[in-house]
Amino acid sequence: MRHTIEHVFDTSPERLWEVFFFDEDYARGLYERMRLTVVRRDLQREGEGPSLIVRRKLLAADRELPGALKRLFQGTSTVTEVGEFNAALRRYSVTIQVPVIGNLVDYGGEYTWETLPSGQLRRVWRGHCDARIPLVGGKLEAYLLGEIEKSMAENFAYTREWLKAHPAS
């Protein structure tokens, strides 16, 4: 299953990604708004500006799952997100590893972005979820992609508000 989500921000790519990766106040506020319990966040930064590369690993306690899916995960609920950001390629690739059945689920996607003639930033997410689980694979794919869509809507709203309230210095 595939999906595409597009958002437009009133900022530069450099500002958006600097805030996204490195502003601790932003991160705390975002996680709180999304009701996300982050167990661990690791960042590796190489280069600056157009040559910036960031590798991020985020471990988060998953929110409550619907009944049938809850039985699949049976008590283990830490989701791992692994991403690699490359400013020169204008790409942030993300793999999401779900607990217990992760080897049966290919889940993640890629952000790309461009600066519009208006100076705004268009960020596009192209996500996928392929669950190779008989009987429930399609339901799991729809649920996981739906969670990404909800999370990205919350993330977008919060990030727009944050950028307006905290202009670049």
Does the predicted TM-score (pTM) go above 0.75? yes
Centroid of chain to Cα 153: 11
pLDDT of residue 14: 94
pLDDT of residue 169: 66
Q: Hunting for tokens 């899916």 — which residue is that?
A: 69
pLDDT of residue 72: 56
pLDDT of residue 73: 56
pLDDT of residue 17: 96
What span, in angstroms and rounded, lies between the C-alpha atoms of 36 and 21? 16
pLDDT of residue 111: 98
Would you identify the CATH topology of the domain 2-165? Alpha-D-Glucose-1,6-Bisphosphate; Chain A, domain 4 (3.30.530)
Give average pLDDT by consecutive 10-residue segment, the chain, 169 residues: 96 95 96 91 95 96 59 67 97 89 85 96 96 86 90 96 89
Edge-first strand order for the sheet with 121-131 is: 2-9, 121-131, 105-115, 91-97, 78-86, 53-61, 37-46
pLDDT of residue 143: 87
